[in-house]
């Protein structure tokens, strides 16, 4: 009886040890390469086997920004593109991207949100009615990129002409003529825009600097005619002819 009891005790210990061996986990270290891909890991212990998929994400983004065009005219649009790749040139794909601008808007807002595509690119459309530089910033995974868009004036749309003084005494004096030329959004037109001046039915007018604008303004000197009476000063942008 004593021998049987010992044998039973020994058998229980062996079964417990075997059970512990069967449930012990196995470990392996998987090291990524330089590609941002999905890897399939297969584990087998005959006769059983299993698989699991592991996604290797792109590393820290290196961000570049581009715009097409870089110097658009007001009222038009520029396509802003952010491109994000890691140090191994893997695209940072399907990640949230935020664009902001200091001038103009993205569909009515100064901030817009989108997602990078398979190639790590994200784009937004910027529009402005005001001339000047716009600093556009794009951010992906907290890493920023920046680009400056220079908004240019549109074509001449309005012109305002003033004369000072409006009365020239003694038929021998002169007066200054000022022509302010603006685009349809009331921005001064491009520097160097030529303005044509005329005076009728008498007098003489001489454009200053060839009638070219600076900050939207062109000037001229009008001289009185030899006969007292009214005269009309006219001005228009050369391309209106």
How far apart (Å, rounded) are the C-alpha atoms in residues 77 and 105? 10
| Nearest-angstrom CA–CA distance, 205 and 174 | 9
**Can you give the pTM of this predicted structure?**
0.78
Residue 216 token pair: 């939207």
How far apart are the C-alpha atoms of 172 and 219, rounded to whole Å? Answer: 20
Residue 138: predicted pLDDT: 98
For residue 10, the model assigns a pLDDT of 44
Of the two residues 42 and 67, the one the predictor is more confident about is: 67
User: 126 with 147: CB under 8 angstroms?
Assistant: no
Condensed to tens digits (0 to 9), the pLDDT of residues 215-232 reads: 999 999 999 877 888 899
Rounded Cα distance between 131 and 122, Å, is 25
Residue 7 clears pLDDT 50, i.e. is over it:
no
8 Å CB contact between 220 and 234: no
**pLDDT digit string (tens) for 90-120?**
999 999 999 999 999 999 999 999 999 999 9
Closest CA to 216 of 186, 163, 180: 180
Per-residue pLDDT tens over the stretch 10-32 = 445 545 555 555 556 777 777 76
Q: In DSSP terms, which residues pair with 126 in a beta bridge?
A: 78
């Amino acid at each position: 009886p004593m021998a049987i009891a010992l044998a039973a005790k020994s058998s229980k210990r062996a079964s417990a040890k075997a059970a512990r061996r069967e449930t012990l986990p196995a470990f392996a270290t998987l090291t990524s390469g330089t590609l941002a891909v999905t890897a399939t890991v297969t584990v087998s212990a005959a006769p059983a086997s299993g698989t699991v998929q592991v996604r290797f994400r792109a590393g820290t983004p290196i961000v570049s920004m581009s715009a097409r065009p870089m110097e658009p005219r007001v009222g038009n649009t520029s396509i802003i593109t952010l491109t994000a790749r890691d140090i191994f040139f893997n695209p940072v794909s399907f990640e949230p991207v935020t664009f902001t601008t200091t001038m103009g808007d993205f569909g009515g807002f100064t901030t817009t949100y989108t997602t990078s595509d398979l190639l790590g690119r994200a784009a937004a459309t910027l529009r402005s009615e005001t001339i000047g530089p716009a600093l556009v910033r794009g951010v992906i995974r907290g890493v920023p990129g920046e680009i400056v868009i220079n908004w240019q004036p549109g074509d001449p749309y309005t012109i305002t002409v003033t004369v000072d003084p409006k009365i020239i005494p003694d038929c021998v004096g002169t007066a200054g003529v000022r022509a302010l030329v603006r685009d349809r959004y009331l921005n001064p037109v491009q520097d160097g825009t030529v303005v044509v001046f005329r005076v009728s039915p008498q007098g003489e007018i001489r454009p200053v600097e060839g009638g070219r604008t600076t900050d939207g303004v062109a000037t001229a000197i009008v001289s009185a005619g030899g006969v007292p009476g009214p005269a009309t000063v006219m001005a228009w942008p050369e391309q209106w002819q």
